[in-house]
Structure 1
Amino acid sequence: MEQKEFGLHDIVEMKKPHPCGINRWKVIRLGMDIRIKCEGCDHSVMIPRKEFTRKIKKILVKHAE
């Protein structure tokens, strides 16, 4: 399985959609834990990096540096 390279402010798609129905998340914090914010309802969730890399499906928009 390939290693997904994600960065701050990238828009990602997770394997399961948020209860609001949107499956687009913005990465707003990186570290041992990763905070992502739902693009639909602005709800934010902090999850461990290992769990995040397991649950991410693909990177939709790469943030230009």
Structure 2
Amino acid sequence: MFDLGDIVEMKKQHACGTNRWEIIRMGADIKIQCTGCQHIVLMSRRDFTKKLKKVLSQAEPKD
């Protein structure tokens, strides 16, 4: 699955040309930030799971 701080790839590429997003908030809604232009998008968990392609890297576990 996915968790806070993970880098994910979405099905559609962002307008800036990159397809890597970092999850910066999780709850009923999920907030992701583009790693290329720092644009932030907020979407429902249902929409996020539908548009998610794969998790590229997991966040480092906290102590």
TM-score range, shorter chain: over 0.9
Match of 1:47 in 2: 43
Query: Unaligned stretches of 5+ in structure 2?
Result: none
**1:31 pairs with one of 9, 16, 27:** 27
2:3 to 3, 7, 19: 7
Identity %: 54
CA deviations over 1:3-41 (Å, ceiling 9, x no partner): xx1000000000001000000000000000000000000
CA RMSD of aligned residues (A): 0.4
Q: Give the structure-1-normalised TM-score.
A: 0.92
Aligned to 2:14: 18
SS in 2 for 1:34: strand
Q: Which runs of 5+ in 1 are unaligned?
A: none
User: Where do 4+ consecutive residues of structure 1 move more than 6 Å?
Assistant: none
The number of residues matched between the two structures is 61
